[in-house]
Amino acid sequence: MAIKSYPNIGEAYSDVTYSLGFALTQWQAVELKLYQLFVFLCGDSDRKAINVVFHEMPLEVRLRALTELVAMRAPSQAEAWAEVVKKVHKQRRMRDKLAHWTVVGDQHKDGGFTAWLSPPTTSEQARVVYENNHSAMGAQDLLDKSREFQIAAHAVHEFMMAFPELV
Question: How far is residue 51's CA from residue 38's CA, in Å, rounded to a whole number?
Answer: 10
pLDDT at 50: 86
Tell whether 4 is covered by a domain: no
Asked whether 34 and 88 are in contact (CB, 8 A), the reply is yes
Tell whether 141 is covered by a domain: yes
What mean pLDDT is predicted for residues 135-158? Answer: 94
pTM of the model: 0.85
pLDDT at 167: 41
Question: How far is residue 62's CA from residue 68's CA, in Å, rounded to a whole number?
Answer: 10
Tell whether 21 is covered by a domain: yes
Tell whether 41 is covered by a domain: yes
Tell whether 60 is covered by a domain: yes
Tell whether 85 is covered by a domain: yes
The count of domains in the chain is 1
H or E element: which one contains 114? strand 113-118
Question: How far is residue 25's CA from residue 166's CA, in Å, rounded to a whole number?
Answer: 25
- pLDDT for 108-134, tens place per residue? 888 899 999 999 888 888 888 888 876
pLDDT at 163: 80
Tell whether 1 is covered by a domain: no
Question: How far is residue 90's CA from residue 161's CA, in Å, rounded to a whole number?
Answer: 22
Look at residue 143 and tell me whether its pLDDT is greater than 90: yes
What mean pLDDT is predicted for residues 23-28? Answer: 96
Segments forming the whole domain that contains residue 30: 9-162
- pLDDT for 48-96, tens place per residue? 888 888 888 999 999 999 999 999 988 999 999 999 999 999 999 999 9
CA 122, 128, 131, 133 dihedral sign is negative
In three-state secondary structure terms, 144 is helix
pLDDT at 72: 92
pLDDT at 1: 60
CA 13 to chain centroid, in Å, comes to: 21
